């Protein structure tokens, strides 16, 4: 190792892990990046300047001890790096893969000024993947078990973050999920080319080894009531996500051939993994001309899934310009490499119909006007610029709204004006809802956001629960 070289960043440039061969990428459901080798990771980690006041740590939503674990890995202390990395992050190997690092940790790296940021995400992934493969497991030997028990509803990043922190404080966490595997959108949403499904299977085994209990295929409100959980446990955490698809509100949205993004992605995962599902739920776009509407992470995942299914042509139509796309730049670049065509400044106005089925989408060109209430410049239609894009399938990827359960009212869990769960973030008991025994975090509280912010809220809520239980 070249550890300790203060000028490493001058001799060694930033390198991302190699990407797999494009032909394999376009035809298989595999992650597109190779793992770093040991010498690559040591050299890359050693580029860190160990800034006194590390901006990367502040910008990382879980405030990872980034320079510290970069130093450990650059010196070959892999297990120590893994242990430290797990002090702040419940799923480091997942965040290393799916965080938009260019907007978070790496975007804040001092070396961005001309040298190229340290490859923080790929290093974080390497540390945990490699340590777990070598037999490392989180050290819980110092944990003193209490007699408290908490039910966690939802095995997504928020629920897992909460269960992790509770377990490390000696509180028994029992996690319920309606799906057959843990992960929430990590398993039933984000496709394999960003995050292979075995990563979450391995994670479940690690969590089970830590003492977390999972009750899968169990929906609260259907299989068990919230009253039952409130009676059986000392507290309940809700990490149930947001699942109501936003509609385009244009004519033709209900036509055959028009699909909701998440239904399409989940159907494909279920098909790949052999999970049980209604055969109608699997949509195969082989040989078809596909238009995906939207410009976020979900839209990118849909276009790239369609390519892997063997679609004849895949177009992404987005109503703002490229600079204003909300998703990760890296994934837009990856989509381009895989042959997706982008049509920017196009607003859909109607699905075109032939023989009772979608045959295209009518769009109008837009120009960006004044900023709206969200601070983003509003797309305004340009008169006379309509055009029809032919398509056999149209996928609508406009994001998600909260999907509160029917039982929230009877359980005393109040909602805000946009239907998000009210959870007091800055009170004594962090993320407590209007029912003192119920806490909540993640997408259902903040609106659909990121894996790493859901983990953070789940972990913070666990601290609130520990204070509430006085342990």
Binds ligand SF4 (CB under 6 A): choice among 32, 41, 45, 60: 60
Q: Cα(304)–Cα(52) distance, rounded to whole angstroms?
A: 41
Binding partner of residue 334 among ligand SF4, ligand FAD, none, CB cut-off 5 to 8 Å per kind: none
Q: Does 41 bind ligand SF4 (CB under 6 A)?
A: no
Residue 66 binds: one of ligand FAD, ligand SF4, none (C-beta under 5 to 8 A by kind): ligand SF4
Report the partner that residue 132 touches, choosing among ligand FAD, ligand SF4, none (CB closer than 5 to 8 A by kind): none
Interface with ligand SF4, residue 62, by CB under 6 A: yes
Residue 64 touches which of ligand SF4, ligand FAD, none (Cβ within 5-8 Å per kind): ligand SF4
Site for ligand SF4 (CB under 6 A): which residue of 45, 73, 78, 99?
99
By CB under 6 A, residue 157 contacts ligand SF4: no
Taking CB under 6 A as the rule, does residue 460 contact ligand SF4?
no
Structure tokens at 289: 């001309």
Beta-bridge mates of residue 235: 150
Own/partner pairs for 70-75, CB < 8 Å, 24+ apart?
70/45, 70/46, 70/118, 70/120, 70/123, 71/3, 71/45, 73/41, 73/42, 73/45, 73/123, 73/126, 73/127, 74/1, 74/2, 74/3, 74/42, 74/43, 74/45, 74/46, 74/48, 75/1, 75/3, 75/42
* Residue 450 binds: one of ligand FAD, ligand SF4, none (C-beta under 5 to 8 A by kind): ligand FAD
Decide the pairing of beta strands 213-215 and 172-176: parallel
Residue pair 228/215 in contact (Cβ under 8 Å)? The answer is no
Residue 298 is a binding residue for ligand FAD (CB under 6 A): yes
Nearer Cβ to ligand FAD, position 32 or 364? 32
Distance in Å from the first CA to the final CA of the chain: 44
Residues 320-359 within binding reach of ligand FAD (CB under 6 A): none
The item of ligand SF4, ligand FAD, none sharing an interface with residue 442, based on CB under 5 to 8 Å by kind, is: ligand FAD
Chain-centre distance of CA 304, in angstroms? 16
DSSP state of 352: E
CB within 8 Å of 470: residues ≥ 6 apart: none
Please check whether residue 388 is in contact with residue 360, taking contact to mean a CB–CB distance below 8 angstroms: yes
* Residue 291 interacts with which of ligand FAD, ligand SF4, none, CB < 5 to 8 Å by class: none
CA distance 471 to 148: 9
Site for ligand FAD in 444-463 (CB under 6 A): 448-452, 454
Under rule CB under 6 A, residue 155 binds ligand SF4: no
Contact by Cβ (8 Å): 389, 350: no
Shortest separation between residue 441's beta carbon and ligand FAD, angstroms: 7
Q: Is 98 in the site for ligand FAD (CB under 6 A)?
A: yes
Q: Are 467 and 243 in contact (CB under 8 A)?
A: no
Is residue 322 within 8 A of residue 340, CB to CB? The reply is no
Nearer to ligand SF4 by Cβ, of 112 and 272: the residue is: 112
Provide, rounded to whole angstroms, the least separation between the CB of residue 320 and ligand SF4: 24
Q: Which of 325, 245, 259 is closest to 292 using CA atoms?
A: 259
Binding flag, residue 70, ligand SF4 (CB under 6 A): no
Question: Can residue 177 be called a binding residue for ligand FAD (CB under 6 A)?
Answer: yes
The distance from CA 11 to its chain's CA centroid, rounded to whole angstroms, is 35
Report 221-250 residues binding ligand FAD (CB under 6 A). Answer: 221, 239-241
Residue 95 contacts ligand SF4 per CB under 6 A = yes
Q: Which stretch binds ligand FAD (CB under 6 A): 62-70, 175-183, 246-254, 340-348?
A: 175-183
Contact of residue 351 among ligand SF4, ligand FAD, none (CB under 5-8 Å per partner type): none
Residues that bind ligand FAD (CB under 6 A): 98-99, 153-159, 176-179, 184-185, 189-190, 194, 219-221, 239-241, 262, 265, 297-298, 301, 405, 442-443, 448-452, 454
């Amino acid at each position: 190792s070249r550890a300790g070289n203060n000028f490493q960043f001058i001799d060694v440039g930033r390198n991302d892990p190699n990407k797999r061969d494009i032909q394999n990428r376009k035809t298989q459901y595999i992650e597109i990046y190779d793992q770093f080798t040991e010498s690559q990771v040591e050299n890359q980690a050693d580029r860190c300047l160990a800034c006194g006041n590390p901006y990367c740590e502040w910008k990382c939503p879980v405030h990872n001890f980034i320079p510290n674990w970069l130093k450990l890995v650059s010196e070959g202390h892999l297990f120590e790096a893994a242990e430290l990395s797990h002090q702040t992050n419940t799923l480091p190997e997942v965040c290393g893969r799916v965080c938009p690092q260019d907007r978070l940790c790496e975007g804040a790296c001092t070396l961005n000024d001309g040298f190229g940021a340290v490859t923080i995400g790929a290093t974080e992934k390497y540390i945990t993947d490699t340590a777990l493969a070598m037999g490392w497991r989180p050290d819980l030997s110092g944990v003193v078990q209490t007699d408290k028990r908490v039910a966690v509803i939802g095995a997504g990043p928020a629920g897992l973050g909460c269960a992790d922190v509770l377990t490390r404080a000696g509180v028994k966490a029992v996690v319920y999920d309606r799906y057959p595997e843990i992960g929430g959108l990590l398993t039933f949403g984000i496709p394999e080319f960003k995050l292979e499904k075995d990563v979450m299977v391995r994670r479940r085994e690690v969590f089970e080894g830590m003492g977390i209990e999972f009750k899968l295929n169990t929906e609260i409100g259907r299989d068990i009531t919230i009253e039952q959980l409130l009676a059986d446990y000392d507290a309940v955490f809700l990490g149930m996500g947001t699942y109501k698809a936003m509609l385009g509100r244009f004519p033709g949205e209900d036509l055959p051939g028009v699909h909701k993004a998440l239904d399409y992605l989940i159907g494909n995962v279920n098909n790949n993994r052999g999970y049980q599902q209604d055969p109608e739920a699997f949509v195969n776009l082989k040989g078809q001309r596909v238009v995906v509407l939207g410009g976020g992470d979900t839209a990118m995942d849909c276009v790239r899934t369609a390519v892997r299914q063997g679609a004849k042509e895949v177009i992404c139509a987005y109503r703002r310009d490229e600079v204003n796309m909300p998703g990760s730049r890296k994934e837009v670049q990856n989509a381009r490499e895989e042959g997706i065509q982008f049509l920017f400044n196009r607003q859909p106005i109607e699905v075109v119909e032939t023989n009772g089925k979608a045959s295209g989408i009518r769009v109008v060109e837009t120009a960006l006007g004044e900023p709206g209430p969200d601070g983003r410049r509003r797309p305004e239609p340009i008169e006379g610029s309509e055009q029809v894009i032919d398509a056999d399938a149209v996928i609508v990827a406009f994001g998600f709204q909260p999907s509160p359960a029917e039982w929230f009212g009877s359980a005393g869990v109040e909602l805000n004006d946009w239907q998000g769960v009210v959870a007091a973030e800055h009170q004594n008991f962090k993320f407590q809802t209007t029912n003192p025994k119920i806490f909540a975090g993640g997408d259902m509280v903040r609106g659909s956001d990121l894996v790493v912010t859901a983990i953070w809220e789940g972990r913070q809520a666990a601290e609130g629960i520990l204070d509430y239980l006085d342990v």
